[in-house]
A and B are shown apart, each in its own frame.
Chain A
Amino acid sequence: QKEVEQDPGPLSVPEGAIVSLNCTYSNSAFQYFMWYRQYSRKGPELLMYTYSSGNKEDGRFTAQVDKSSKYISLFIRDSQPSDSATYLCAMSVAYNTDKLIFGTGTRLQVFP
């Protein structure tokens, strides 16, 4: 079993829809949770960062962490065709560690 599980999709939604992307994990020591966005044939870029449990909002994006359930989510409101990309969750145990564990990524397509 992988430490981080993520549904690969693809997820196809109409423009303006609310998108929910999720990851589950098995290592209860994870404390730092991130979402990266990766456009086709590009490197991943950091989208959201959350420490421990709770919510964090940035524009149309909201990240949620539920450590009791070992479950993290990324919500995208008013989705746009430009949001079409692969979204990867990532997590680590400590702040100053290089051991960043990624999910496999969920491919999202937003159609006009």
Chain B
Amino acid sequence: NAGVTQTPKFQVLKTGQSMTLQCAQDMNHEYMSWYRQDPGMGLRLIHYSVGAGITDQGEVPNGYNVSRSTTEDFPLRLLSAAPSQTSVYFCASGSPGRHGYTFGSGTRLTVV
């Protein structure tokens, strides 16, 4: 049982480049989310999905796109990378309440 798998683990981008952060879960969870974690800022919600075909914006959605075509996958797309998007990105699935979220191990992104 792999849980939540994020790829890549590390990435360096040049300003203006685009890329997709991959997230896959094998627990049949309906809820999936993307967070970014920055020093002194905690975890901030970027986008989330409550099921296949349904997505919504979180606290810091600008510069990011998502889609949810299957229950298992929830990719995060950076349209035109900026240095302000340098961060650690976590994908999570599950329930925000009693059973909590299962987090992936993160993608460390540096934009130069």
The answer to whether A and B interact is yes
Interface residues of A (CB under 8 A from B): 4, 6, 8, 32, 34, 36, 41-46, 49, 51, 88, 90, 92, 95-105
In the assembled complex, which residues on chain B have CB atoms less than 8 Å from the CB atom of A103?
Answer: 42
Is the beta-carbon distance between B45 and A99 smaller than 8 angstroms? Answer: yes
Cβ–Cβ contact B42 & A32, under 8 A: no
Contact of A99 among B42, B96, B104 (CB under 8 A): B96
Query: A44's closest neighbor in chain B, by CB?
Result: B103
Contact A104 B96 (CB under 8 A): no
Interface residues of B (CB under 8 A from A): 4, 31, 33, 35, 40-45, 48-50, 56, 58, 90, 92, 95-106
The verdict on A49 contacting B90 (CB below 8 Å), with A99-B45, A104-B41, A104-B42 known, is no
Quick check: A49 and B96 within 8 Å, CB to CB?
no
Residues of chain B contacted by A97 (CB below 8 angstroms): 96
Contacts A43-B90, A44-B90, A105-B42 given; does A100 touch B105 at CB 8 Å:
no
Instruction: Determine how close the nearest CB of chain A comes to the CB of B90; give it in whole angstroms.
Output: 5
**With A43-B106, A44-B43, A88-B43 as contacts: A95 and B90 at CB distance below 8 Å:** no
